[in-house]
């Protein structure tokens, strides 16, 4: 929007001297020789209408001033004097002050006569990319700070920081007419002790006593604002102090994005949107680009395009350099391929020669190993022949007298189990030990066969795993009556027990399926003098 310019006069007539802080509109007078300078056509037509605008931008009109009469406007922006020193002649000459939203910028220019003229330009909008009614609050609360709020009515210029463009809780008015927030004011401290402050726009230095502080929180919290969901259809306008509660509790215009069609839908209508197969309840306005954000997006897009162009130039330069390097590397690669081919031919010839030598060497080594094997075989056969008599005389049975049967039985009754093992012995060339295993089951005891295979000197010549049937025989000490149980280990298929021992001994095992009844043995007289006569056999 183009700025609207309004010419105001500071007049002097005779001995009447006006206050430097009093701004006058042109007036038609019948007294004196004062001839006011003519106003531009647009300004002449809007003199009366602009009084209200002047009041909203920091200038108050006294009561009763109407029409084209002389109107005295009191400056409340903190301006104490208007210099006639040549400084600015156009609005475009004013530095960063143009970023102040709805703020009058005083531009001074010299005149030939004694009458001083002050040109006031109203600059609409700001350079921060938002409309004149959208502002960001700072220092109020965690819910309101740093979130743009759209006010229903324009915010007074005196409540907006000229430096950052935010609306602070309290403002600091400098004597030069600029308004700063507390953080920006602290950043403008000058001097060693920080008692003086320098205006960031015109460089004027003032003391802390000359800075007028004003608390704007109460006035701003009463001002009407639009809900943050206005773009989503919410039309609620309420005070700034109530917008947070409305937004979090009462507002029904929160939106979400449909995961199926990626359309923006009101949160309350998302289920109905899914039921309609993404055909209804689409919030089209939410997908539009808002005017207040369009400027920012365009600026970001232009900056992005410039950055992309810059990167593209750099990439093209890099690609050209890489192309040259690639051509050089390609030549080197071709030379390397030729070298590799030559090396392959050389290695192939050497490999054929080495293969021929290896064949002759293998034949010679095979003859040597065959001779050594025959020699070792003859020695081994001689050793086997030497050991054949004890192997042939190796027993198939072993008798054992178990002493201390009563103590073994008592331990089984109290602890649940007990066992006793015989010494190691060769049975059918297998080195093993055997014994009995007393196990308590309910209120009765049973005697089971227990045995363990050990690593022996004949293991290399035996069949593995061990698959012979075993027999445990209880012998009556007087009548030589026998009572036996048998066990077939191959039915258990346990490699840890019946495979060839790799350590000193395999895991011991007992057969609980078939067992003696100790009560029958005791009543039958098999136990005499606390001794039990047993015989262990390994069958074919």
Are 111 and 163 in a shared domain? no
pLDDT of residue 351 exceeding 80, the answer is yes
Q: Residue 297 falls within a domain, yes or no?
A: no
Going from the C-alpha of 416 to that of each of 205, 405, 518, the distances in angstroms are 103, 15, 15
Q: For residue 538, what are its two tokens?
A: 């390994």
Count CB-CB contacts under 10 A for residue 306. Answer: 10
Q: For residue 525, what are its two tokens?
A: 């007289």
Q: Residue 28 falls within a domain, yes or no?
A: yes
- Check: CB of residue 2 under 8 Å from CB of residue 122: no
Look at residue 393 in the predicted model and tell me its pLDDT: 55
CA triple 161-125-48, angle to 5 deg: 100
- Check: CB of residue 478 under 8 Å from CB of residue 407: no
Look at residue 316 in the predicted model and tell me its pLDDT: 92
Are 92 and 214 in a shared domain? no
Are 17 and 109 in a shared domain? yes
pLDDT of residue 46 exceeding 80, the answer is no
pLDDT of residue 381 exceeding 50, the answer is yes
Q: Which of 204, 222, 240 is the last residue of a domain?
A: 222
pLDDT of residue 103 exceeding 50, the answer is no
pLDDT of residue 91 exceeding 70, the answer is no
Look at residue 385 in the predicted model and tell me its pLDDT: 58
Are 446 and 526 in a shared domain? yes
Q: For residue 441, what are its two tokens?
A: 């089951």
> Which position has the higher pLDDT, 211 or 195?
211
Measured distance CA(352)–CA(358) in Å, rounded: 10
For the segment 18-29, the average pLDDT, to the nearest whole number, is: 36
DSSP class per residue in 142-186: TTTTTSEEEBSSPPPGGGS-TTT--EESEEEE-TTS-EEEHHHHH
Look at residue 360 in the predicted model and tell me its pLDDT: 86
The lowest-confidence range among 108-122, 351-365, 373-387 is 108-122
What is the band of 294 on the pLDDT scale with cuts at 50, 70, 90? low
> Which position has the higher pLDDT, 411 or 208?
411
Measured distance CA(492)–CA(495) in Å, rounded: 9
Q: Residue 338 falls within a domain, yes or no?
A: no
316-339 residue pLDDT tens: 999 999 988 888 888 888 988 988
DSSP state of 505: B
pLDDT of residue 92 exceeding 60, the answer is no
Are 34 and 99 in a shared domain? yes
Count CB-CB contacts under 10 A for residue 436. Answer: 26
Contacts of 233 (CB under 8 A, 6+ apart): 253, 266, 283, 285
For the segment 358-374, the average pLDDT, to the nearest whole number, is: 87
Are 435 and 473 in a shared domain? yes
pLDDT of residue 116 exceeding 60, the answer is no
Q: Which domain holds residue 150?
A: 134-222
What is the band of 407 on the pLDDT scale with cuts at 50, 70, 90? very high
Are 148 and 113 in a shared domain? no
Are 427 and 464 in a shared domain? yes
Provide the number of structural domains found in the chain: 3
Are 77 and 191 in a shared domain? no
Are 430 and 532 in a shared domain? yes
Look at residue 490 in the predicted model and tell me its pLDDT: 54
- Check: CB of residue 533 under 8 Å from CB of residue 474: yes
The lowest-confidence range among 107-111, 239-243, 267-271, 345-349 is 107-111
Q: Residue 343 falls within a domain, yes or no?
A: no
Percentage of residues in the chain having pLDDT higher than 90: 11
Look at residue 497 in the predicted model and tell me its pLDDT: 85
171-193 residue pLDDT tens: 999 888 889 998 898 888 876 66
> Which position has the higher pLDDT, 426 or 132?
426
The lowest-confidence range among 124-128, 227-231, 482-486 is 124-128
For the segment 287-295, the average pLDDT, to the nearest whole number, is: 48
Look at residue 453 in the predicted model and tell me its pLDDT: 93
Measured distance CA(474)–CA(238) in Å, rounded: 106
Percentage of residues in the chain having pLDDT higher than 70: 68
Are 148 and 39 in a shared domain? no
Are 53 and 114 in a shared domain? yes
> Which position has the higher pLDDT, 390 or 439?
439
Look at residue 132 in the predicted model and tell me its pLDDT: 66
Going from the C-alpha of 524 to that of each of 136, 403, 482, the distances in angstroms are 108, 18, 11
């Amino acid at each position: 929007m183009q700025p609207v310019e309004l010419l105001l006069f500071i007049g002097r007539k005779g001995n009447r001297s006006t206050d430097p802080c009093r701004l006058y509109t042109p007036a038609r007078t019948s007294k004196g020789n004062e001839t006011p300078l003519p106003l531009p056509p647009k300004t002449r037509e809007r003199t009366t209408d602009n009084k209200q605008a002047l009041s909203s931008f920091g200038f108050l009109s006294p009561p009763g001033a109407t029409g084209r009469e002389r109107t005295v406007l009191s400056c409340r922006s903190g301006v104490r004097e208007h210099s006639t020193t040549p400084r600015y002649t156009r609005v475009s000459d004013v530095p960063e002050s143009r970023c102040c939203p709805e703020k009058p910028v005083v531009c001074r220019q010299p005149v030939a006569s004694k009458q001083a003229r002050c040109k006031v330009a109203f600059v609409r909008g700001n350079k921060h990319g938002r409309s004149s009614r959208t502002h960001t609050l700072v220092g109020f609360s965690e819910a309101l700070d740093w979130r743009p709020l759209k006010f229903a009515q324009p915010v007074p210029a005196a409540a907006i920081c000229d430096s950052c463009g935010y609306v602070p809780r309290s403002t600091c008015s400098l004597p030069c007419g600029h308004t700063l927030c507390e953080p920006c004011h602290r950043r403008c401290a000058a001097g060693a002790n920080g008692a003086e402050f320098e205006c960031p726009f015109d460089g004027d230095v003032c003391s802390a006593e000359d800075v007028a502080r004003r608390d704007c929180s109460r006035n701003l919290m009463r001002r009407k604002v639009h809900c943050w969901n206005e773009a989503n259809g919410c039309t609620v306008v309420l005070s700034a102090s109530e917008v947070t509660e409305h937004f979090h509790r009462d507002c029904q215009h929160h939106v979400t994005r449909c995961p199926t069609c990626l359309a923006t839908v009101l949160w309350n209508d998302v289920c109905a949107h899914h039921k309609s197969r993404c055909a209804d309840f689409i919030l089209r306005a939410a997908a539009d680009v808002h005017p207040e954000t369009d400027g920012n997006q365009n600026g970001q897009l232009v900056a992005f395009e410039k950055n992309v162009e810059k990167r593209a130039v750099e990439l093209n330069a890099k690609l050209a350099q890489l192309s040259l390097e690639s051509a050089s590397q390609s030549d080197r690669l071709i030379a390397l391929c030729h070298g590799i081919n030559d090396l392959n031919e050389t290695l192939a010839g050497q490999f054929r020669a080495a293969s021929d030598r290896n064949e002759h060497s293998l034949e010679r080594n095979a003859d040597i190993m065959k001779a050594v094997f025959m020699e070792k075989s003859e020695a081994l056969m001689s050793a086997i022949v030497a050991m054949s008599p004890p192997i042939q005389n190796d027993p198939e049975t072993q008798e054992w007298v178990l002493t201390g049967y009563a103590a073994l039985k008592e331990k089984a009754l109290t602890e649940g189990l007990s066992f006793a093992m015989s010494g190691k012995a060769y049975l059918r060339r297998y080195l093993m030990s055997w014994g009995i295993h007393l196990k308590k089951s309910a209120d009765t005891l049973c005697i089971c066969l227990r045995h363990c295979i050990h690593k022996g000197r004949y293991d290399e010549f035996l069949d593995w795993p061990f698959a012979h049937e075993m027999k445990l025989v209880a012998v009556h000490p007087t009548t030589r009556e026998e009572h036996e149980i048998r066990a077939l280990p191959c039915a258990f298929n346990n490699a840890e027990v019946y495979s060839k021992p790799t350590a000193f001994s395999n895991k011991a095992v007992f057969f609980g399926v078939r067992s003696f009844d100790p009560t029958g043995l005791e009543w039958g007289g098999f136990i005499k003098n606390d001794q039990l006569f047993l015989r262990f056999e390994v069958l074919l």
